[in-house]
Amino acid sequence: MNLDDILKSRRDTRHFTADEVPDEVIQKALQAGHWAPSVGLTDATRYYIIKSDEIKSAVKNLFLDYNKKAEELTDNPEQKELYKSLKLEAIEEAPVGLIIAYDRSVLNQFTIGTIGSNEAVKFSTVCAAQNIWLSLTEQGYGMGWVSILNYFQFKKLLDLPENIEPLGYFCIGKPATNYGNQPMLQQLHWKQKSEKAHCTEINSIHKINVSDFDLKSQNKTEIQNDFSQALQEKIDSKTKPVGSLGTLESLAFQMATVFETLNPKIINPNIVVFAADHGIANHGVSDYPQDVTRQMVNNFLEGGAAINVFCRQNDIQLSIVDSGVNYDFPTNAKLINAKIAKGTQSFLHTAAMSETELKLCFEKGKSIVKDIAKTGSNCIGFGEMGIGNTSTASVLMSLITGFSLEDCVGKGTGINEQKLLEKQNILKKAIENYSGQNKLENHLSYFGGFEIIQMASGMLAAFENKMLILVDGFICTVAYLIAFKINPDIQKNAVFCHCSAEKAHFKLLDYLKAKPVLNLDLRLGEGTGCAVAFPVLKSAEAFLNEMASFESAGVSRK
């Protein structure tokens, strides 16, 4: 067959004969896949052969379970019936099953071709899949791609390593039909395939219009003496010695002031975890590879992380934001898409982000919190996830506060003393390489992280919407520091949930004159400190609203 004939006759095969597939046919096809282009010569493509009837049956059940959900995605009754009539897999009928996957662990090393997107590794594997398909077609065999699967369960079922990402399950065998020289979906009138490729020439540049944000101080102090006096009297009139509930009294006063009521009630509390990758992580500032950011976001989405556990325990809504993870999550993933780019650039040699990206961060952070406020939520916690973000936070803290870099750099994910010294030297060199202006906006665009800036913007938006702002650990406190420099009044709404084990956090809290609610040596991030401190806030709310006063209880005052 000539190449054009092979290309035209390749089909997504769903009907197979019972004929066996010789091993040499498979080996020839896999060799064709190996010849496919591979970004940076990573050789990241991996193959797994399946001939076991038991495994095929288990994969078929996975398909059936997920396919029921797929049927419900259309509200058109006719289309729903047509969908049910389509044969979308031949998992048990095909003699051979093939898993084509890619190994994400190759990204733990610098790889040419993946700077713009780590997904280039996946694209290479798709090229391999196409070569396999064409080779099988040329040999008189067919292949069908089954993608309607829960990939998390699929990997667990087959015990695939965490770093292996399957494109799907592929059925291989002798085709039982040529579908009338048409793709099956076209033959069954699901959709017509166009005759020619759709191609449009782009001959102009689209200008991105992003709103400007005022990064200058916006202090707008308001005096509410009458309300404050009434609130303090309510607190002091409870059946207890004045001040005996300590921090709970301060929290109750703050909560009532933010909500502007003597009977404050936390409504629809929400903890938002902002996740993004950092170019500086490529220089070994963390013990963990950058891909852990993506892995942990998947863990959040699956409900298995510490923040998921604590939010469930305390009935707190959890929102996950993709601020700039170096990964393309499925479009139906339960996360807020605020991706600016697939990670920042490394600020060791160049700016982490452009001015436009900085403005987009402020825009998206504000929009996310405004949408949460519209649900009626009046209490929002901020958490983060991003390998390398303690480095970003440390540099920003040093530049904004004037503290020495040594005072601002900690062990982050738990690096040893030698690694800590190397981390300090890398960050010192980065600051020495900086030649920009000594202004907040310049520091933010050159050294900032997408998730840190979005959190800062979100905190400002929470203040505007009269929400109680729960601040987690070191990185979130640096985000608060940015917001505080823009609008010092934000301190009225901020609750610092804990003092972390990151050494710079204590120094930063002292700089901000902030008193943390807890001190549990936490250094996990994710907003866990907010969730763990939340019951203390509920206790403050409860005593103010439910505790008897001296008068109502008939108890004599001092």
Q: Report the catalytic residues.
A: 526
**Rg of the chain taking only CA atoms, in angstroms:** 29
Angle, vertex CA 511, rays to CA 506 and CA 514, nearest 5: 70
Which helix or strand (DSSP H or E) is residue 204 part of?
none
Q: How far is CA 533 from the centre of its chain?
A: 23
Give the CA-trace dihedral at 491, 492, 496, 502, to 10 degrees. Answer: 10
* Coil, strand or helix at 262: coil
384: tokens are 């983060």
Amino acid, single-letter form, for residue 295: Q
- Angstrom distance (rounded) from CA 166 to CA 46: 9
* Burial status of residue 428 (CB atoms within 10 A of its CB: 0-12, 13-18, 19 or more): middle
Q: Which among 524, 527, 240, 495 is positioned nearest to 383, based on CA atoms?
A: 527
Question: In the chain, count of helices (H) and strands (E)?
Answer: 21, 10
Q: Answer for the pair 40, 114: CB distance below 8 angstroms, yes or no.
A: yes
Nearest to 323 by CA among 370, 372, 358: 358
Burial class (CB in 10 A: 0-12, 13-18, 19+), 477: buried
DSSP 8-state symbol, 92? T
Structure tokens at 196: 């020619």
Enumerate residues 6+ apart whose C-beta is below 8 A from 445. 351, 352, 353, 354, 355, 357, 358
Give me the half-sphere count of Cα atoms (radius 13 Å) on the Cβ side of residue 482. Answer: 36
